[in-house]
Structure 1
Amino acid sequence: MSSETTLSEAVPPYSSFSTAKKRYIVATAAGAGLFSSLSAQIYFPALNTLADDLNVSTSLINLTVTSYMIFQGIAPMFIGDFADRTGRRPAYIICFVIYIASNIGLALQDSYTALIVLRCLQSSGISSSVALSAATVADVSTKQERGSMMGFVMAGNFMGPAIGPIIGGLLAQYLGWRSIFWFLTIASGVFLLPLLFFLPETARNVVGDGSSPAQPWNRPFIQYLRPREVRVSKDTGSSTESIDRPDSHDSPKKIEHKLQFPNPLKPLILVWHPNSIIILLVTGVIMGGNMTVLSSITEIYTAQYGLDELEIGLCYITLGTGSIVASVITGRLLDWNYKRMAAKLASDPTSEHVGTADSVPVEKSRSMITIPLVILGSVTVLAFGWVLKFGEPLPAPEVLLFFVGVGQTGGFISTSTLLVDLHTSNPAAATAANNMVRSFFSAGASAAIDPMLTAMGRGWAFTLVAFILLSTIPFLLLLCGMGRKKESSEKLEGSAERAEVPASPQRAED
């Protein structure tokens, strides 16, 4: 039995949404994910100013960063399961309402207690958008195209480190720290309006492959502004009004659905499988390594190059640019490798039974792309540490930061796509578990890097980080082995079946 069968329930093979509607849905998911990373990064340049205005120590202000990351891991455990049970639209709306309200509170507050509470609330609202974005991609894509779509969505998520510190530095320097939260309030409010009016429900247990109507309260507002359809009964000749406007069927089958309270433990139960545990571990280590670089740049660049806050914010552009480039390239590589393996299976005369796209060993397909990306991220982190150790000019670490972004972000996108591939029935819950693990790894890494730099120096500290990253490769090779084992077992099953019944062509399904 394939891992897809064991890890995921039967779901419609693809969405009936048009290509244009798919693109709009994916673009909206990318925009939603942007706010999560932007909210964390835009805050950094104002930390010192906030400490002075609220009369608290730097360590207490840094606690607001730690608490944000903790709730970034916990909150999606509730929203992820809620989105899988009830739908993506209500989950998006709840997240943005909480987020907008918390930003208004942050802009108006004058005490440290209010700051830390509202930062936790802000994180609880917006951090779930990453899980929702991944789940939305899973709803409207097949494995053959999921890599590119995930890459595009993650490009939005990784724009935060590129533009967040710059926007935050400019706002804090010229308009004050409160302007940061007013900016987030206005931007998220502008984003929410078209989401309310145009974004359709995509959750498969609510709308199937997109042809079944969602609940009346879970439909885009634009449907209620159109003229009502008049339907004439064939039996009585009487007319009735309806606002049901499915995409492709005149008489769609309505899926019965009830509201259910989310189970925060379901994401952990869902991923309790060897394949998923390995993916979570690898993803956590990759993002922990990324956080050691992110959290150390400000202090190292200030001490070594004498840069101010705005100049340091500009130095994050190379890392963010590398992340965006990785998002696009990695997605295309994932799709290319999956299609290449599918074509290879289809051309194998001994594998008629498994000559469909669904029979491709997805663990092997994704891990083959992940391994070289992890190696790239590890080697460049190693070089980054020693370049700083020997006091090389600023362009040297900046060039390396670009390739750190490519390697580490690419590895994260690849493993995240694989996790969604294995849990297409509950992608939001699976991504929520992934989000929790990577948040905790990131929090631990950000807390550990400063003592490591003090005790070991820059060169050896980042050498240790590089070797920890490289230690994930045996686990990725193990995933490749699981994929080969799956492929071999399916070939044996196919041979046995062909001995009994004639093979029939099958449609490639997700």
Structure 2
Amino acid sequence: MAEHQDIEIEQETRKDTSQIHIPKNCIKDTYVTDKAYSVFTLAQKKWIVILLTLSAFFSPFSSTVYLPALLPVQQELGITTTQVNLSLTTYLIFQAIAPTISGELSDTLGRRPVYLITFVVYVAACAGLAVQNSLPALLILRMLQSSGSSGTVAIAFGTLADFTTPAERGSYMGFMNSFPLSSPALGPVIGGAIAEAAGWRWIFWFLVIFASLTLALLFLAFPETNRKVVGDGSIRPPALNRAVLEKFVSPKDSWTRRTEDGSIRKKRTIRDMIPNPFRSVLIIFNKDVSVILLVMSIFYASFYAVMASLPKLFSEMYGYNELRVGLSYLAFGTGGILSSIGTGKIIDRDFQSVAKKAGIQVNRKKLDDMSKFPLEEARLKSIWYAMGLCIAATISYGWALSRKPHVAVPLVLQFIIGASNVSVISIISVFLVDLYPTTPATATASGNLCRCMFGAVSTSVIEVMITKLGVGWTFTVWGSMCLICFPLLEMERRVGYKWRLARFNDFTKKQEQETLKNGANTGD
């Protein structure tokens, strides 16, 4: 009996080890599968990534497309500036909190049903915002709008991790991140044009139309990818998780293969259907994760400090109206899009480079033995250049504006800030998913929680900082805060593997105790 239990524990531990990234020589005799990590075809992967890019676009975009409408909303509803700004604050707060629920739920129930629910909530909230006429309605609907859209980012990262290996993840994630990370800069441009041409309510009608089309695509042609539901994609999901156009977007194996043929899918219980948002919060307190989340949050806050201060600074210095201010954000957006795509390729190149240096052969289509891979070295290899460039551009931006130069100067610096900052956030986002391959959406939600909270603080204090310190010293402070991230990431690079090993050992002990407990309960 005891021997039988030991065999089960050893097998379970080996399977779990293949999903945990532990450095070389930390664990021996790890489990490595010869099967392809996913049976989704290249065309199906590209289609899924396109849908993910569309869906993840709405959360950051909805935050800033509304900015040009603040003044007309305030005037029409007869409210104060402080009251209308509450609609920004409430959006950011729920943007941070909501993914801890939807991300966790998608890791248990599956990506597809949670995606559909969140988009239905989002479309309904946007329609309500287009017709509301009071401050309470505005605030409540902005909360619902944020709750519906913000979960899409965490789910998108989780979905991508379902069918990509660490060796190929960077390129896919670079493309997927390009528009979501740059959409805060594109939002004011589109919002300003719509508000001027048709009125502020049409901003929300535009979102209703755009989101409804995306919802229709998800309903018809978004396949389930969650590995707890479909495995490598070869297990046919239950009806709730099944795409309408299943035969076009799902692997052929899943059309006929069901769990009864030997592929056992864990039955979902009522307990599985109740999300636990505290899992995302608890992830933050792991040493290896807390360091990279702090770095990402500081850079994200710095980015939003530059973004949030632009309307007032450009209107005062250059006499820009809402439309011209909105167009000024294109420098951020262009830099972000180009950087995200390029950074994705750099991430994959770094992975291959470190693997070659370590004498490890990597198969892009299979989940190789990550226990022998120096993950910290690979993921942080190129981030230093982007960090340095971002800090230099941010400080230069502040002192350039203090001298009121030709507008081309701050616009060029905005392009550099957008490109370098997005590069830093993209690299850390990929690293975060690698650290929690079995619950990537939950892990991403923890990152979203931290950076959105930092972003909310940043937008609330930037005007006070500029008034008290002046624009030059304000952005010097933000650049100096980003300098702290260099020793933090160096510490992560040097000792992060020890923290991950300790976390893995704790996880293994819990799995062993659970296995023994289940064996005792069943009388084996």
Q: TM-score, normalised by structure 2?
A: 0.84
Q: Name the amino acid aligned to 2:136.
A: T
Is the 8 Å Cα contact of residues 118 and 149 (structure 2) preserved in structure 1? yes
Which residue pairs with 2:156 in the alignment?
133
Q: Following TM superposition, by how much is the alpha carbon of 1:269 offset from its aligned partner in structure 2, in angstroms? A: 2.0
Cα 1:126–1:186 shift into 2, 3 Å: same
Correspondence for 2:265 among 245, 255, 269: 255
Correspondence for 1:373 among 386, 409, 417: 386
Which residue pairs with 1:278 in the alignment?
291
- SS of the aligned residue for 2:470 comes to helix
Deviations 1:251-308 (A, max 9, x none): 5725133152000101122343111010111111010010100000000000000000
Cα 1:225–1:203 shift into 2, 3 Å: closer
Q: Following TM superposition, by how much is the alpha carbon of 1:195 offset from its aligned partner in structure 2, in angstroms? A: 0.9
Q: Name the amino acid aligned to 2:495.
A: M
Which residue pairs with 2:20 in the alignment?
4
Is the 8 Å Cα contact of residues 16 and 248 (structure 1) preserved in structure 2? no
Correspondence for 1:409 among 413, 422, 430: 422
Deviations 1:122-156 (A, max 9, x none): 00010111101111111111111111111111112
Q: Following TM superposition, by how much is the alpha carbon of 1:11 offset from its aligned partner in structure 2, in angstroms? A: 11
Which residue pairs with 1:152 in the alignment?
175
Q: Following TM superposition, by how much is the alpha carbon of 1:51 offset from its aligned partner in structure 2, in angstroms? A: 0.3
Deviations 1:301-342 (A, max 9, x none): 000000000000000000111111110111111110011111
Is the 8 Å Cα contact of residues 121 and 148 (structure 2) preserved in structure 1? yes
Map 1:105-504; keep pairs closer than 5 Å.
105-223=128-246, 245=255, 251=261, 253-258=263-268, 259-346=272-359, 359-482=372-495
Is the 8 Å Cα contact of residues 212 and 252 (structure 1) preserved in structure 2? no
Q: Following TM superposition, by how much is the alpha carbon of 1:184 offset from its aligned partner in structure 2, in angstroms? A: 0.4
**Equivalent-residue separation in structure 2 for 1:159 and 1:275 (angstroms):** 27
Q: Following TM superposition, by how much is the alpha carbon of 1:486 offset from its aligned partner in structure 2, in angstroms? A: 9.2
Cα 1:47–1:134 shift into 2, 3 Å: same
Which residue pairs with 1:493 in the alignment?
none
Cα 1:337–1:224 shift into 2, 3 Å: closer
- SS of the aligned residue for 2:376 comes to helix
Q: Following TM superposition, by how much is the alpha carbon of 1:217 offset from its aligned partner in structure 2, in angstroms? A: 1.7
1:72 aligns with 2:85: no
Deviations 1:52-94 (A, max 9, x none): 0000111211111011000000101111110001000011101
Deviations 1:471-502 (A, max 9, x none): 1110111111125779999xxxxxxxxxxxxx
Is the 8 Å Cα contact of residues 342 and 357 (structure 1) preserved in structure 2? no
Cα 1:122–1:29 shift into 2, 3 Å: same
The answer for unaligned runs of 5 or more in structure 2 is: 1-16, 24-29, 362-367, 503-524
Deviations 1:202-225 (A, max 9, x none): 111111111111112210012499
Q: Following TM superposition, by how much is the alpha carbon of 1:113 offset from its aligned partner in structure 2, in angstroms? A: 0.9
Cα 1:223–1:140 shift into 2, 3 Å: closer
Is the 8 Å Cα contact of residues 107 and 179 (structure 1) preserved in structure 2? yes
Cα 1:309–1:487 shift into 2, 3 Å: closer
Q: Name the amino acid aligned to 1:444.
A: V
- SS of the aligned residue for 1:213 comes to coil
Q: Following TM superposition, by how much is the alpha carbon of 1:248 offset from its aligned partner in structure 2, in angstroms? A: 11
Which residue pairs with 1:237 in the alignment?
none
Q: Following TM superposition, by how much is the alpha carbon of 1:160 offset from its aligned partner in structure 2, in angstroms? A: 1.3
Q: Name the amino acid aligned to 1:253.
A: S
Which residue pairs with 1:97 in the alignment?
120
Is the 8 Å Cα contact of residues 19 and 438 (structure 2) preserved in structure 1? no
Q: Following TM superposition, by how much is the alpha carbon of 1:4 offset from its aligned partner in structure 2, in angstroms? A: 2.9
Which is worse superposed, 364-373 or 309-318? 364-373
Cα 1:447–1:2 shift into 2, 3 Å: farther
The answer for unaligned runs of 5 or more in structure 1 is: 230-242, 349-354, 490-510
Is the 8 Å Cα contact of residues 234 and 254 (structure 2) preserved in structure 1? no
**Equivalent-residue separation in structure 1 for 2:412 and 2:248 (angstroms):** 52
Deviations 1:385-428 (A, max 9, x none): 00000111100000000000111110001111100000010001
**Equivalent-residue separation in structure 1 for 2:281 and 2:259 (angstroms):** 37
Deviations 1:212-243 (A, max 9, x none): 111122100124999xx9xxxxxxxxxxxxx9
Is the 8 Å Cα contact of residues 380 and 404 (structure 1) preserved in structure 2? yes
Is the 8 Å Cα contact of residues 162 and 316 (structure 1) preserved in structure 2? yes
Q: Following TM superposition, by how much is the alpha carbon of 1:249 offset from its aligned partner in structure 2, in angstroms? A: 11
- SS of the aligned residue for 1:70 comes to helix
Cα 1:485–1:264 shift into 2, 3 Å: closer
Which residue pairs with 2:512 in the alignment?
none
Is the 8 Å Cα contact of residues 128 and 141 (structure 2) preserved in structure 1? yes
Which residue pairs with 2:65 in the alignment?
42
**Equivalent-residue separation in structure 1 for 2:62 and 2:128 (angstroms):** 14
Q: Following TM superposition, by how much is the alpha carbon of 1:166 offset from its aligned partner in structure 2, in angstroms? A: 1.6
Cα 1:110–1:224 shift into 2, 3 Å: farther
Is the 8 Å Cα contact of residues 170 and 430 (structure 2) preserved in structure 1? yes
Cα 1:175–1:402 shift into 2, 3 Å: same
**Equivalent-residue separation in structure 2 for 1:388 and 1:109 (angstroms):** 39
Q: TM-score, normalised by structure 1?
A: 0.86
Cα 1:386–1:225 shift into 2, 3 Å: closer
Q: Following TM superposition, by how much is the alpha carbon of 1:245 offset from its aligned partner in structure 2, in angstroms? A: 0.8
**Equivalent-residue separation in structure 2 for 1:10 and 1:92 (angstroms):** 33
Which residue pairs with 1:61 in the alignment?
84
Deviations 1:420-469 (A, max 9, x none): 00001000100001001001000111111111101110111100100101
**Equivalent-residue separation in structure 2 for 1:152 and 1:247 (angstroms):** 32
1:52 aligns with 2:75: yes
**Equivalent-residue separation in structure 2 for 1:275 and 1:3 (angstroms):** 17
**Equivalent-residue separation in structure 2 for 1:368 and 1:142 (angstroms):** 18
